């Protein structure tokens, strides 16, 4: 059994954020990693994006990401010289990607701008990493920082609250041995 804590984060007056943490449901509350974590996180990302166009953003270890995508027939696009965008992989491909790269920090974003590309944000991701989302998240349904090594996912969004994330994620995690909580 796992716990998925979903709570609002205070990242300053100009940022609305929702943090998620996936831990073991015991007294030690160890972060969940490995294939089980990838299974949960893949469903969380897809359910939160729902009908929005979405993608993963990689801005480090790009040779490994390219190699993996080529070997596993995962579609991607080069976004400048130091960024790779992987548009909405299906669930098995997403689960496999998250399992393979859960030791890396990367991002995700959802919204109309994903389809047309966002050269400014993609350039900033290459330069500043996930910090680039701070200046751009208001243009998207969400931007997310995926820190799965630490069992965390942070959504930056003007449109998502913790309760809305829970509402979207609950059906996707049904039968997955995950208790979703809003810590008090």
The domain segmentation of the chain, as residue ranges, is: 2-181
Predicted structure pTM score:
0.94
Residue 114's pLDDT is: 95
Strand, helix or coil for residue 79:
coil
Give 52: exposed, middle or buried? Use CB within 10 Å, 0-12, 13-18, 19+.
middle
CA distance 153 to 44: 9
Residue with tokens 């960024």: 83
Could you read off the pLDDT of 101-155 as tens digits, one per residue? 999 999 999 999 999 889 999 999 989 999 999 999 999 999 999 999 999 999 9
Residue 10's pLDDT is: 87
Could you read off the pLDDT of 34-88 as tens digits, one per residue? 999 999 999 999 999 999 999 999 999 899 999 999 999 999 999 877 899 999 9
Q: First-to-last CA distance in the chain? A: 20
């Amino acid at each position: 059994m796992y716990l998925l804590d979903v709570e609002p984060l205070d990242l300053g007056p100009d940022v609305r954020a929702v943090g998620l943490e996936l831990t073991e449901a015991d007294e030690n509350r160890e972060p969940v990693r490995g294939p089980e974590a990838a299974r949960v996180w893949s469903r969380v990302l897809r359910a939160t994006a729902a009908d929005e166009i979405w993608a993963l953003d990689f801005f480090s270890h790009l040779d490994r990401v390219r190699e993996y995508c080529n070997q596993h027939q995962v579609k991607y696009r080069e976004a400048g010289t130091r960024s790779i965008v992987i548009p909405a992989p299906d669930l098995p491909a997403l689960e496999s990607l998250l399992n393979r790269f859960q030791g890396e920090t990367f991002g995700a974003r959802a919204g109309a701008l994903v389809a047309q590309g966002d050269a400014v944000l993609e350039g900033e991701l290459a330069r500043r990493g996930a910090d680039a989302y701070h200046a751009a998240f208001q243009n998207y349904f969400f931007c997310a920082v995926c820190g799965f090594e630490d069992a965390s996912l942070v959504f930056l969004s003007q449109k998502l609250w913790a309760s809305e994330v829970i509402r979207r994620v609950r059906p996707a995690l049904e039968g997955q041995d995950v208790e979703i909580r809003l810590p008090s």
